[in-house]
Chain A
Amino acid sequence: MSNCRTIQNLLSDYRTDLLDERERAQIESHISECPDCARELELLDSVLSLVENNTPLCEPPAGLWNGVYNRITDPTPRRARLGGWFLTPVHAAGVGLAALAIIVGLYVSGPRPQVVGSASMAPADDYVLAHALYAGQASITDRAAYLTYVATPSDSGVPN
């Protein structure tokens, strides 16, 4: 281990106490005879001193304690502060289920569309029926709206 490049590559390990006794002795022996490697070690030491003496502590922002204090003394749960009750999963699921129950209830309890060509049908009913056939392919909310409509008695007393 007498090559200068090898020695110089190990100088940082030497300063960090990473080498065993034998390697350390070899480096010290080499440096005592090689001015170039001795100068490299001095350079490393100077840089490390530069780092040690030029890493000052910076002042933290003045409001840091207030931020911590506000967070630890605020009794409101974080989720409630952010969005209110409707954002909690339990409430959101409850609202969703209630809406679904109403829609399904309307769909199940409402009358079915009447047969085409029934004697009681007025011209307007043809239009409603055509809409019903179309709504059969539409979303469940359209169907619910239609079924609500047909369940309501018309002026003539006949269900729509």
Chain B
Amino acid sequence: MNPRKTQPDAHGERLEQWNAIGDASRSSDAVAPDNVLVAKTRGGDLRAFEELFRRHHKRVYNIALGVLSNEAEAEDVAQDVFVRVHESIGRLQSDDAFVTWLKTMTVNRCRDVLRRRGRLRIESLDAPIEQSDGFSTSLEIPDDSNDPQDALEKKFLRQAVRKAIASLTPDAREVVTLFYVDGADIATISKVTKSPEGTIKSRLSRARGELKRKLQHHVEP
């Protein structure tokens, strides 16, 4: 019995999705690895920076959306993160660490937003995804099914999962988002959040228990 039975497949698929985003375009910058683009950006090459943005903005936005459960705030965070990346890319120690650095900036910016939000209002534990106009929403999730019944069922399940994740505590939401949405492993999450691996595992375990409690009626026969 493998205790990690449920982890590798989904993570492999998610990594392939990120790579596919990188393969979508074929200009010289589009095939260059991140570290080359980082070096070019540092030298003032805006096209290289645009390619870095194109490659990673979806990841940044989805992490922010998962942690914050709010579209407008996620958009602000994504914009701020890339502006800061452009401003401070000269301080990046190793060009190979770009993605970890990017995720760390995203998580830190999300924490700033949560702190500010905490000062403004007490967050509802059942907070749904919020649009900028204040209405709750089911986000436009890509539909990969041709059968309308199947598509509707998938949409329903995705909303249920998203709502369950949104109802977790901010710490748990951060770990669950990085693990399931971004596809990061425990060691990477530990680096990004600057927390020990044991702490990350504990938060993930508690979050999984909570998700089981909230979602098990969707899978019971």
Do B212 and A43 touch (CB < 8 A)?
A: yes
How many residues of A are in contact with the other chain, CB < 8 A?
38
How many residues of B are in contact with the other chain, CB < 8 A?
57
Please give the distance in Å from B4's CB to the nearest CB on chain A.
6
User: A residues within 8 Å of B by Cβ?
Assistant: 12-19, 24, 28, 31, 43-61, 64-65, 67-69, 71-73
Do A51 and B211 touch (CB < 8 A)?
A: yes
Please give the distance in Å from A37's CB to the nearest CB on chain B.
12
Contact with A along B191-221 (1 / 0, CB 8 A): 0000000100110111011011001101110
Do B215 and A51 touch (CB < 8 A)?
A: yes
In the complex, A52 Cα to B212 Cα: how many Å?
13
Do A72 and B83 touch (CB < 8 A)?
A: yes
> Chain B binding site: helix, strand, loop or mixed by DSSP?
helix
Q: Residue B61 contacts which of A15, A44, A53, A58 (CB distance < 8 angstroms)?
A: A58
Do B216 and A43 touch (CB < 8 A)?
A: yes
In the complex, A44 Cα to B208 Cα: how many Å?
8
User: B residues within 8 Å of A by Cβ?
Assistant: 1, 3-6, 9-10, 17, 46, 49-50, 53-54, 57-58, 61-62, 65-66, 71, 75, 78-79, 82-83, 86-87, 139-142, 154, 157-158, 160-162, 164-165, 176, 180-181, 198, 201-202, 204-206, 208-209, 211-212, 215-216, 218-220
Do A47 and B79 touch (CB < 8 A)?
A: no
Interface centre among B50, B87, B161 (most CB of A within 10 A): B161
Q: Give 17 pairs: A residue, B residue, CB < 8 Å, sorted on A.
A: A12-B212, A15-B5, A15-B6, A15-B205, A16-B204, A47-B211, A47-B219, A55-B66, A55-B158, A55-B161, A55-B181, A57-B142, A60-B57, A65-B54, A67-B79, A68-B86, A72-B46
